[in-house]
Amino acid sequence: MLPLRAYARLARPQRLPRPTQLARSSLPRPSPSRPAAHYLALAPAPSIRCLHSSPPTLKEKRWLNNTPPEDDGEDGQSSKQDDHAEKPLPEAESSKSAEERAKSQSSKPDIKASSSDSVSSPSAPAPGSPGGQSPPGAGGPKEITKPVIPEIYPQVLAIPITHRPLFPGFYKAITVRSPPVIKAIRELQAHGQPYVGAFLLKDSSVDSDVVTDINQVQPVGVFCQITSCFTSQEGEGKPEALTAVLFPHRRIRINELVTSSSVKGNGAVGIGAPVGEGSAEGEGEVKSFESEVPGVEEVREELGTVSIDSEQQLPDVQRENQDLEKKEVTQIDFLHSLLPQVSLTNVSNLSVEPYEKDSQVIRAIMSELISVFKEIAQLQPMFREQVTSFAISNTSSQVFDEPDKLADLAAVVSTADVSDLQAVLSSTSIEDRLQRALVLLKKELINAQLQFKIARDVDTKIQKRQREYYLMEQLKGIKKELGMESDGKDKLVEGFKEKASKLAMPEGVRKVFDEELNKLVHLEPAASEFNVTRNYIDWLTQVPWGVHTPENYDISHAIKVLDEDHYGLKDVKDRILEFMAIGKLRGSVEGKILCLVGPPGVGKTSIGKSIAKALGRQFFRFSVGGLTDVAEIKGHRRTYIGAMPGKPIQALKKVATENPLILIDEVDKISKAYNGDPASALLEMLDPEQNKSFLDHYLDVPIDLSRVLFVCTANVLETIPGPLLDRMEVLEVSGYVSAEKMNIAERYLSPQAKTAAGLEDVNIELEPGAIEALIRYYCRESGVRNLKKHIDKIYRKAAFKIVTDLGESGLPEPPTPPAEGQVEAQHPDIKPASELTSNVSPDAEGSGVDSKADVTTVPRKPMKVPAGIHVKITQENLKDYVGPPVYHKDRLYTHSPPAGVSTGLGYLGNGSGAVMPVEINSMPGKGNLQLTGKLGEVIRESAQIAMSWVKANAYLLGITKSEAESTLNDRDVHLHMPEGGIGKEGPSAGTAILTAFVSLFTKTRVDPDTAMTGEISLLGQVLPVGGLKEKILAAHRAGIKKLIVPAGCKPDIDENVPESVKGGIEFVFVEDVRQVLHEAFRGTEVAKRWQETLPMDEEPQRERH
C-alpha cells in the first residue's frame, strides 16, 4: 500500500484558470457565423478535487501507456492547455475543428456523463453542467460544480482484494497480475469507464484476480474509480503486473456473477462501445476534446446573449442522444468478450438506514471517537501524522462532522482484524457502525499505550547503557593518562586465538568461536555478559579438538597388564583382548560401550583402570549413582549463573584427548526427578550412532564422542532401563571362590596393606591358614572388598603393636624442623615469625589450637624399624587382630536332622551363596499353611506348589492308605527357614521344600550331606535356576557331598564353576521331582516302596569330582 503522501503527489489537482483569462482569451465574442461547437471546443474544463466524489487523477493519458507526463508548469496546467487558454484559434480553423470534434462527440453523447472523472479527463464536468466562466460583463464567474460520479452503475468489473477491505474516501493501491484482467482495466480506461468493484476475499491465502464463485468474496464491497495505474516487472521471467490506485466512492452489494451464457443474444449497445475503427491518435483527440469542451447548456449560460437553436444546428447529436436513451445499455458491455477470464458482477448500492445526525447517541459516540483519536495521537507520532494528513486532504468534506466518514476513518487507521473491518464496512446502521469503529479504536489505544510503555522502558535502558559507556570511556582515558590503560582484554583475546590455532576445530565450531570472540572484543570488561562469553570461549578452547592419544594394541603387553592387576576374570580379559585384536587389524577402533555387571567388591572399577592402562588411553571416572539432574550429563544452559558443561565435556577437558576411557560407575542406581531423567540423557551419549555429534547444552556445538571407550558398571541389570541396556554389551563379573580369594589376598591385598601401614621393611608374616580363616569365618561375600578391610586392619594392629612395644626409646621423635617464618631479622623493628602472636583471645571459641605453634612445609621422614622385629599372624591369634569370627559354623544341623528337615542352597544379596535348611512341622488344626523366616512372595508360592503336589500324590507316596482318602485336612503345617533376619527370595527352593514335606509326612530323615536347589512346577517338573557358582561354593565350604541340581544347569556348572570348588562333590542332574525324592531318600524303606508306586522314567545323570 502506497503512503498517503504518494497518493497526493500522484493525484495533484490542477490550478484553475483565472476568470479574466476565461473571459478575454478562452471565450471570444460570439457571432452568428460561429456555431456552438466552436465555443464547446474553446471553453476550458477546470479540475476539481473533492472527497467522496472526484479523486485527483493524472494530468494526461500518456501515463497509461508507460510514458511519463510532461513537466507541468507552476500552475499545474500543461502547455497545450496554456495555449488554449492564452491564444484563441483562428476563426476558420477553429470553426472547422470544432465542428469535427462535435461530430465525433455526438457518436457517444453520454460518455462524459458517465466518465467525467476518468483518467483521461478526470476533471471534465458532466454534460449539461456549467463548466466555464462567464464572459466579460456577465456579472462575474459562477460556482463551479463537482464532476458527476454515476449514482447507478449496475454492472462492474469485480477485483478481489486481500488483507484489508477498502473504505470510501481512502486510496488503495492494488496489483493485478492476470493478463485478461489487465486488459479489461485498460479497456475501461480507453472507453472512459474507469470504475471497478473491490471485494474482500474470504480466504486470505487465495491469490487470484478473478472471482469464480460469488461465495469467494464478502457480499459488501466498494465502488472504486481507477485514478492512475502503471506497469511493473516483479522479477526476471515473471509476467508484467499492473499497479492501479483505486479511490472508493461508496458501498455496494454484490448480487450475482455475470457469466458468458447470460450475455449471449443481448443486442444492447454498450454506452462505452468503440465508435469506429480509428487510429490511436484520432481516439486521443476525441478524448482530449471530451476533457476540454463543456456542455451546450454551460456555453448557453456563459454566453447568455447568444441564442442557439439546438434543433437546427445540432440535429444529429440530439437525435443520437434520443436514440441511445431508448436503448437498454450497460456501461461495460465491451468487456463481455473477455468472459470468463474476468469477473463481471451485477451490483447494487448498499442502502443505509435513516438516522438523525443530531442524535444524542451518535453525537456521544462521535465525541468519544475524537477523544480516542487525540489520545492515540499523543502516544504515537506516526498515527498523529497519518490522521493529520487525512484531515488536511479531506477539509472540504468535514470528516470529523460526518458520522459515516468518521467511522470509516477510524476503521482505516486501525490495525484490527479483517473480520472486524469488514463488519464496519457491511454495517447499514450508522450507530452500529460508529460503535464497531469505537471498539476498534479502543483496541488501538490499548496497543498504543503498551507500545508507549515498552518504548519508554527501552529508552531508559538505552540511556543507562549509554551513560555507562560514556563513563567507561572516561575511565579509560583516566587510566591511559595514569599509565594503566591496559585492562588485560587484549591479552585475553590473543591467548584465546593462540589456543584455537593449535586445535583442529571443525568448520562449524570455528565459526562459532570467531563469532563469540568478536563479541568479546566489543564487550566492556565491566559488562555482565563479558564473563559469560569469556567462560564460554575458555571451555570451547579447552576441548581437545583433533587431539588423540596413540593406542597400544600389543596383545602380550595387555595380557601382562591385566594379569598383574587382576586374578581370574577370564571372560572379561578375553573380551578386552578381542577388542584390541580388532583394533590391531583395522588400525583404529570405534568407541564401544561395555557394561560390567557383578556383585560389589569383585573389581569392576579397577578393571576399567586396567583396560585403560593396557590400551594406553587416558582414564576418567564419574559415578551416576543417585544422579537426578539431566544437566550433569547434558550441561546447563549458558543463561544460568554458574553454568558449565556436562560430565563428558569435563572429562575431555581433564584428559586433554578425544579418545579416553570413561568409566560410568553405578549405572544401575541412577535416579529420576521432576527436572528430567538422566538415564534418557545417557542414551545419546552411549549410542554409537548418535554420539558422533553429541550436543552439550552449554557448548551448543556438536562434539564427537565416537572415539571414546565407555565402560559402565552395575550390580544388577533389573534396574537399568531397557533402551539403555540395549546399547551396552554386558559382561558378567561373577564372585570369587575361596581359592581365588586366597591368591588375590597373597598377591595383591597383603602387599598393598603392608605398604600402606609403613611396614615394608618389617618382617610381617601372614600365614595362609590365617587368610583361609579370614575367608571362611569373616569374609564370605563374593567380592574381596571386605577381605581387604580385614587385611588392612591386621597390618594396622601390627604397626600399633610394634610402636607400643618399642616405645620412645626404640623409636624416638625426630627434632622439630625450623619454621619457615624464622628468618634472620633485617631490621631491629622486624621480629621473626615465631615471635609473632595471634590477636585471637585464648578464651575465644575454638582456641584449643595454640596460636603460637610453629608451622612448616618440610615433609617428615619415615622412621626405620629396628631389625629383628618379627610379627606372625596365625589362625590361632587371628582373633587378636580382627576380633571373634562372624560365621561360627556352615551348617545348622551337623548331625542327622529330624524328619521334616532338608538342606537347600540360596544366593544372598551380597553376592555370596549360603546353605539354608528348610524346617517343616505339623500340628492339629484345619489344614492351614504358615510360613515364617522373612520369605519372599516367590518362595511362598513354591511352598504352596509343593504342598499341592504332596496332597495330589499322597497315596503314591504312602502317606494315605487309599486314593480317596484326603490328608492334612485336620492338621496345620508350619514352614520355617532359619535366620529370619535375612530376607529370602527367589525361585530355587522348590525341591528342598518338597523334600521336607515328604520327609515329615513319611517320617523319614534326609541325609545331612545332601543339598539341593531348583524350582518345581505344579505337575512335578524341575526348572533350572541361577547363582550356581556361589551356591556350589557354599556347599563346598559346608562339606556337602551330594548336590541335586536341575539338569538345565549342567552347562553353567561345566563352564563357570572351577574344578577346585567342585572337588569332592557328587552332582546329580534331575528333571522330575520323582528323581529328586529317589536321590534324597536313597537306601530308605520308602524309596524301595516308591520303585513300585512312584517309579522313575529314567535314572538321573551323575558326575563325581
Q: What is the dihedral of CA 1067, 1069, 1075, 1078, to 10 degrees?
A: -10
What secondary structure letter does DSSP report for 868? T
For the chain, how long is the longest CA-to-CA vector?
A: 163
Cα torsion 207, 210, 211, 217: sign:
positive
602 is known to lie in a ligand binding site: yes
Question: Is 831 considered catalytic here?
Answer: no
The answer, yes or no, to whether the previous bond of 987 is cis (omega within 30 of 0) is no
Buried b (16+ CB within 10 A) or exposed e, 571-608: ebbebbeebbeebeeeeebebebbbbbbbebbbbbebb
Of all helices (H) and strands (E), which one includes residue 795? helix 785-810
The residue annotated as part of the active site, out of 172, 1029, 1031, 1062, is: 1031
Q: Cell numbers 544460568 correspond to what residue? A: 640
d(CA 606, CA 564): 12
For residue 221, report the phi and psi dihedrals to the nearest 5 degrees: -135, -155
598 is known to lie in a ligand binding site: yes
C-alpha cell at 391: 484531515
960 is known to lie in a ligand binding site: no
d(CA 222, CA 158): 10
C-alpha cell at 915: 546353605
CA atoms within 13 A on the CB side of 676: 14
Angle, in degrees to the nearest 10, between helices 418-426 and 403-413? 170
| Pair 958, 1003: CB distance under 8 Å | no
Helix, strand and coil content of the chain, in percent to the nearest 5, comes to 45, 15, 45
76 is known to lie in a ligand binding site: no
User: Which residue type sits at 938?
Assistant: V
601 is known to lie in a ligand binding site: yes
Question: Is 1031 considered catalytic here?
Answer: yes
The per-residue DSSP string of 729-746 comes to EEEE-PPP-HHHHHHHII
56 is known to lie in a ligand binding site: no
Would you call 919 helix, strand, or coil by DSSP? strand
Distances (CA, A) of 724 to 664, 682, 717, 875: 13, 7, 11, 48
Q: Cell numbers 468503440 correspond to what residue? A: 274
284 is known to lie in a ligand binding site: no
The residue annotated as part of the active site, out of 94, 414, 988, 999, is: 988
Would you call 1101 helix, strand, or coil by DSSP? strand
Bridge partners of 764, per DSSP, are 871
626 is known to lie in a ligand binding site: no
Residues with Cβ within 8 Å of 234's Cβ and at least 6 positions away in sequence, in order, are: 241
d(CA 596, CA 607): 9
C-alpha cell at 418: 479483517
Distances (CA, A) of 402 to 247, 430, 434: 19, 10, 11
C-alpha cell at 428: 447499514
Residues with Cβ within 8 Å of 674's Cβ and at least 6 positions away in sequence, in order, are: none
Distances (CA, A) of 846 to 840, 849, 851: 10, 7, 11
Long-range residue pairs from 487-495, CB within 8 A, at least 24 positions apart, any chain: 487/525, 488/525, 489/520, 489/521, 489/525, 492/520, 492/534, 493/517, 493/520, 493/521
Long-range residue pairs from 527-530, CB within 8 A, at least 24 positions apart, any chain: none
What secondary structure letter does DSSP report for 935? B
The per-residue DSSP string of 307-325 comes to ---HHHH-HHHHHHHHHHH
Cα torsion 845, 848, 854, 858: sign:
negative
| Pair 330, 155: CB distance under 8 Å | yes
Q: Which residues are annotated as a binding site?
A: 598-605
Annotated binding site for ATP: 598-605
Which positions are catalytic? 988, 1031
